[in-house]
Each structure stands twice: as structure tokens, then as C-alpha cells.
Amino acid sequence: MLNTLLETLSALVFPAECEICGVAVDPHPPLGVCQKCQWEVKLILPPHCVSCGRTLMGNMPKCAECQTESFAFDRAFACAVYEGTMRQLIHAYKFQNRKYLKHYFIRMMLAFIHSHLAASDFDIILPVPMDRGRRSERGFNQSELISSAIAKYFKISHSVENLVRLQGGQIQSQLEKKQRKLNVKNAFLVRKADTFHSRRLLLIDDILTTGYTASECARCLKKSGAARVTVLALARGVN
Ligand SMILES: [Zn+2]
Ligand SMILES: [Zn+2]
């Protein structure tokens, strides 16, 4: 009886069907995406642009977009391209409350770190914060669920309350590129600068599009004395 109840409850949290195509999937590990749909996700492979992490096409160290932009972070990376299956998965995770998809995203990020970064290069991991209103509306910060698991896995300190996003401003994805920079200007605040002083930070984001939000976070973190800010996002928007 108890076992049946537990099975029913666990099926609610970790459904046995692929989020994208509906085929049966093994709930252990509870990824919620079948192997075939995972293959549809387009990973971002090296060589990476030294600034924003896009795959480079030529011999230049920076991509064409970064020739005219400067960011406050030292480097940024994204695991996959924000299109097709990856876009559907992020939408389901953020807007349809499919929280269990975090397991799939965590695994993707861990694989990226193992392949392209070194966990020993970071002292603190933190998520891009949401403002309080939006966070309570959604019930969770999608980046924080991932950053806390990454920090735990590598036994690196995790910071959630120290970089905060001030109330107000519009949703970045609803704005034109030009307005996005202004919309995030001074949107973040560090409560205790000591915590980040001389530290090497890994900032976890969900989607990198213009890079302005991550850059504004980095500017704020650097003002608080952070030695280095590296950004790692789940996906890179095609802009
Ligand atoms: Zn599938
Ligand atoms: Zn670039």
C-alpha cells in the first residue's frame, strides 16, 4: 500500500514519459527526456569565443558580435543553442512548472564543466537572481535550482542571498536589444561585498541572449571586489 502510494507520488514528480515526444522513459535517473530527443539538442562546441562562448567559425579569438561589445564578465559560456528541443525544454521547466527537468539541465552543465572548464578555478557559485516579485510568482528561481546542485557536486560554496535583483524593470525577452541594456542598468546589488572580495565566481544563468543581464551582474560583483566572473548558461539565444 505504502509502496504503491510512493510510486504514484514519484510518478507525479518524475513522469515516466519524455517531455518532448511522450515515449516512455526510465525514471532513474529522472531526466524526463528520452535519448532520441536529447540528441536533438545542439550543443555548443569549441573553439569558443574568448568573450561570449559562441562557437568560432574563423581564426579570430572573438566572434563577430563581440568585436563591437564589451562585457563586465571575464568569459561566458553556454551549453546548448536556444532553439528547437532545448527551447521547448527550458520553456516547460520555467513556465510549466516541470521542475524535474532540472536533473537533465544539471547533468548537461556538469558535462560542460568537466569538458571545458575546471571546477577548481572557482571559489563561489551563484545564480543570476530574480527579483522577489517574480520569484514568488514562479515559486522558484530556475537558475538557483541548478547552481545549488552544481556547487554541491563540486563542493564549492554556493551564494544565493548576497547578489540581489532590485524590484522593477521589464522582462528582458520582451524588449528590443537597445532597450535591454538600459533595463538592467543598476538592477543588481551586492549586500555584503566582503563575501565576494578577491573571489573567483561562477555565475549560473538560464539563457544568454545579448549578455547584458549577466554583464550587469558581473559589473556589480566586480565592484564588490570579485577577482573574476565567469558566466555559464544553459543556452545561448540566437540573436
Ligand atoms: Zn523524446
Ligand atoms: Zn563572442
Q: Mean pLDDT throughout 54-74?
A: 90
Ligand 2: centre distance to CA 185 (Å): 21
- Integer-rounded Cα Rg, in Å, for the chain is 18
Is there a contact between 51 and 66 (Cβ–Cβ < 8 Å)?
yes
Q: pLDDT: is 60 or 172 the higher one? A: 60
Q: Where are the domains of the chain?
A: 53-77+119-236
Please give the torsion angle defined by the CA atoms of residues 214, 95, 176 and 47, in that order, rounded to the nearest 10 degrees. Answer: 50
Burial-class residue 215 by CB neighbours within 10 Å (0-12, 13-18, 19+). Answer: buried
Q: Is the pLDDT of residue 72 over 60?
A: yes
> Structure pTM?
0.90
Residues with Cβ–ion distance below 5 A, ligand 2 = 49, 51-52, 54, 63, 66
The CA distance from 106 to 88, in Å, is 17
Q: Is 122 left (phi over 0), alpha (psi -120 to 50) or beta?
A: beta
DSSP annotation string for 205-239: EEEESSSHHHHHHHHHHHHTT-SEEEEEEEEE---
The per-residue pLDDT for range 11-31, each reduced to its tens digit, is 556 668 999 999 999 877 778
CATH of domain 53-77+119-236: 3.40.50
Instruction: Give the distance (Å) from ligand 2 centre to CA of residue 71.
Output: 10
